[in-house]
Amino acid sequence: MKDTLRLGILYINEGDHTAAVKSLLKAQQYYGEDETLQNALGYAYMNIGKNDLAIEHFNKALKIKPDFSDAMNNLGAAYSNKKEWHIAIKYYKEATKDFLYPTPYKPLTNIGWAHYKLQNYQESENFYRKALKLNPKYSVTYYGLGKTYLAMERIPEAVENFKKVIELVPNTPLAAEASKEIERIEKKR
């Protein structure tokens, strides 16, 4: 039955989250105490808008493996989707404590976004800068920093960050959003 777990993760990687849920629910019958399965199931649920179910499964993953930073970051994302920013920040910060976590810039970027949504722009900038020190090629961080600078009315810096997104990931939806932000800025000038 490990095949159903692998298949579920494959569906996630292909973006078919409904099929992933179906496959992972089958796998759960045999591997319910597997933290990877619980995290994957939470991730699939989150991506079909079932954030409460996602939270339930991320918590199951963390009950099995309390230091599972990926599940911690995903739990923060589920709370972000619910606009529960303070709770999200708590879980993102927990994920950053794991010095073995391979992508610590992601929860730092997520903390930056949560602070942006809370209109704590200086904090937002601080966390984005920390994330960029760890990975200066993560386009999501530049986009969030651009939005933060826009909110702070630091227009040249906002444009610079949006341009960096376009440079790093051209022909992507994120680059298209960054282009729209630049167009809006130029229309206001």
* Cα 15 → chain centroid: 15
CATH of segment(s) 103-189: 1.25.40.10
For residue 151, pLDDT over 80 is answered with yes
Q: Do domains 1-84 and 103-189 have the same CATH topology?
A: yes
Mean of per-residue pLDDT scores for the chain = 95
Model confidence pLDDT, tens digit, residues 96-123 = 999 999 999 999 999 999 999 999 999 9
CA separation, residue 147 to residues 20, 23, 187 (Å):
33, 38, 16
**139-177 burial: b if 16+ Cβ within 10 Å, else e:** bbbbbbbbbbbbeeebeebbbebbbbbbebbeeeebbeb
Give, in words, the CATH class of 1-84. Answer: mainly alpha
pLDDT band (50, 70, 90) for residue 3 = confident
Domain segments of the chain as ranges: 1-84, 103-189
Predicted TM-score (pTM) of the model is 0.91
